[in-house]
Structure 1
Amino acid sequence: MEFIFEPWPWYVAGPMIALVMFVLIFMGKKFGMSSNLETMCTMCGAGKKSAYFNVDWKASRWNLIVILGAAIGGFLAANVLSNNNNVKIAATTVEKLHDLGFDSAGEAYLPDNLFAIEALLDPKAVFLLLLGGILIGFGARYAAGCTSGHAISGLSNLQLPSLIAVIGFFIGGLLMVHFLFPIIF
């Protein structure tokens, strides 16, 4: 049972994702995390204010179970099924992050500078988290889906717009990490 406490290799996790995608495609479902936001807004009555949200949310409630399972699974993986919470990243990356002030780099999944409770007292950290959330929300809406929806579901369905979106996600991520991240921090 020791294997369950270690990160699973690609040749195990990849086929499992493919199996889930095959089942979803077979059932006529589309996977994506950002679509849950649409479902939650619809459930809360946003259809009264915007015709966009005037849809049958019950048809998408299965996806809400997916997001709940992802949250519970992530918590269990980090707190119960993990012997070692150190993040295995390259030593040069850890050094660069330390230079930028991220002292917990290589030791924690999330940097304390942004995700510790104390970070909520830092106006810069709060501003960055809010701005990041707004940009992610806008980007997911503008791209008609999030990274998981396009990269997993869209590419599984061989959709050209998903391929274009995934290429854009990678380019944006590279620009952020190599150019904007050092400027911001």
Structure 2
Amino acid sequence: MSRASRGWQSSDDLPGQIGGPPTLSMPDDWTLSTAWERAQTESDRGGAINDAERVVYLSGGDSTHRVLWALTGRTLAAECDCAGYQYHGEWCAHVASLWWQWVRGGIVVTHLDTGRQYPAPPAWLRLDDDPTAFDHLTPAELDAYLTCELGSLGVREYARLSGRSPGTIGNLLASARDGMEGRR
């Protein structure tokens, strides 16, 4: 499967499509803000639209919000259509709610480039990373690089889990390392 066929495309079935994937960074005062308090105390009655988008409907609110919420490269792409997100530029109650659900195992997040799904934030995740930093890698190279080079699995363990041979994983990893060296 080519990278182009796995890339995120906004769905046309709902109004108010949102733009491309910006990245997040954790706010300094996240434990004290109203958005984070709502995220931790209100339940979300929404759900997934597709691999990249979710509807968030917090119990204390009266409207639904469309949120881009997916992994790309080594980072998390997120954007909400609410006024709070547009005003603050990052964390609104809806985005914070998805983060809270994800870290507690309540939702699964898809990596748009590799197709792999993550029930919790992976060890290699960097919220403020450049989402295009890995665009030159194939999905298989990126998956091997994130899992073995930046993650916690060795080549043989990842080969067993992925159904590939250790030699294939080693070759993918070597190719990804070479590609990353050329970009530095």
- TM-score band (shorter)? under 0.3
Q: Which has the higher contact order (CA 8 A, sep 6+)?
A: 1
Q: Which has the larger radius of gyration?
A: 1
Structure (1 or 2) with the greater helix fraction: 1
TM normalised by structure 1 equals 0.22
